[in-house]
Structure 1
Amino acid sequence: MDASLTEAFEAQRPRLIRLAYRMLGSVAEAEDAVQDAWIRWSRAGEGVEDPAAWLVRTTTRLAIDRLRAAKAQREAYRGPWLPEPLIEPLTEDPVERAEDVSVAFLLALERLSPLERAVFLLHDVFDEDYGTVAETLGRTEPAVRQLASRAREHVREARPRFSVSQEEALRLANAFMAASTQGDMAGLSALLAEDAIMVTDGGGKRAAALRVLVGREDIVDLLQRIAWRQHAPEMLQVGGARINGYPGFVLTLADGPATVAFQPGQDGLIAAVYMVRNPEKLAHVGATGVGSR
């Protein structure tokens, strides 16, 4: 393959991965979609006048196809579904804008149709104009504008603008983990907003709550029952990380890895706790506590 074609593709790879991850909610699926785009590029790239546009169009269509194929699987998922965690070291400046990869935002995208999701991401997140989006999706510009308007109604409130500093958010996360490790239920309760939620995703493969826990009392009650019954797996290692823009931790438990992320609220308390235990979503977690890819 011509070196210039490889160079053109590699220049776009980070953007394609970012787009595919937001479309699919999975690091592994995003990488697979971009790899499929690479295969198509290797066959057709030589005659393409605008490589960036061609690659975005191809990756978007591949992601839409994957979403449609996964519809039945998503509907049959056991317990709450969370996106595959996007993990970055805490010591580095974040590559991704927190509000565009937050769990709340990605869950809001799940309520959209594949086409609505593509339109919203391309226009509102990746700043493509409506004409370009219409060409990418093979739709008319008025149709694309209508799709964007509908999508915006669903996700407007789900793109949090973090009102606390990263330092304060990290303090909350550290305090929660310390209280949890020590079995300090009063301390845990004091850190949670009254209407906080906790979502645990085990995918039917690891122990996890089969519903979203709603409210401070509901969350603390579950954690207390787990502690009393000693059902929590032994924690072997803990590593701090930025998970989907939130401060969090990668845990090495006796039965495998897990991630936990904390969404800070407007009141200086924790608004949401997101825990992923499904091993199929944690294959990219390295021994250092960050994504291995």
Structure 2
Amino acid sequence: MVAQHGLVTRFGQTEWADFSFPLDSSMAEFHFALDCREKRCVLQSLGAAPTWVNAAEVSQQLLMPGDAIRAGETEFIVSIEGMDESLLAAADDDESGDRGSTDPVAAIAIGMTAVEVCMRLELEDDAPRLARDCSSSLELMQLLAAAGDYRQALRVRAFTLGRRPGIAWGCHLVQETFQDRISDIQQAGLAAAVAWTHSPVQENSLHAEAAAQRADYEGPGGMLAAAAFWSGDNIAPATSPQPVKPDDALASHAVAAALAIAIYHHRTPPIEEQFKHYTMVAAAIESGELKLYDT
């Protein structure tokens, strides 16, 4: 069986999976997905049952030729054509065996249907109806935009892009739209968000929180700073004895709010053309064509 380049493919027992194994009773209905984009292939376990790569249980894993995947009682041997040679070289040089992973939120979004994304983001108005007729979350995004609901369309794209890539996407387009025409407080929020994308450590997340507070969690810079804080390891107050993990949908909400301000700021070119440009930039980030930070 061949998973096509440029697509996300789901494996499982159900007939609704892209590759179905109805005779393997140990396999989950949707067991794992392969994201074969960016000249790489990333496995994402869909969580219903364990997935193993080379006898080690994984949640997500960059695959290499010769890897053995086991799901239920079925085993697959990986062969990859056209893989980025730099990834092969890095894997050969890395004695730790850590091959990295996709953004964790993007990895979750890979295995979700349009209806599941709609429910996860609590989309409103016509979104639930549109989602029922969609084959993918990206199709849902396009239908929302066609209906003039750019705010919710941007939420879907920010969520599927993932936290760090999504925030970088927002920062790039806000910088492109406003340049230096926003207040110093908004510029500080934007700078804090950009700093977090370059180094997503907790210290930068807290700096982003402070910048978002100074902006009252408003405006494009304030919202992007909030997105960076909501993508950190802990959003609990400093006095809290227990850490609090952020909800994985919070950042996409803030990124979409920042981009909605940007997209409605200028009426020329028309909003639909601006939105098309935004989605092209998102695709370039996702494919690796546009690199806004070092991985």
Task: Mark yes or no: TM-score above 0.5.
Answer: no
Q: TM-score, normalised by structure 1?
A: 0.25
Q: TM-score, normalised by structure 2?
A: 0.25
Larger relative contact order (C-alpha < 8 A, sep ≥ 6)?
Answer: 1
Higher helix share: 1
Higher strand share: 1
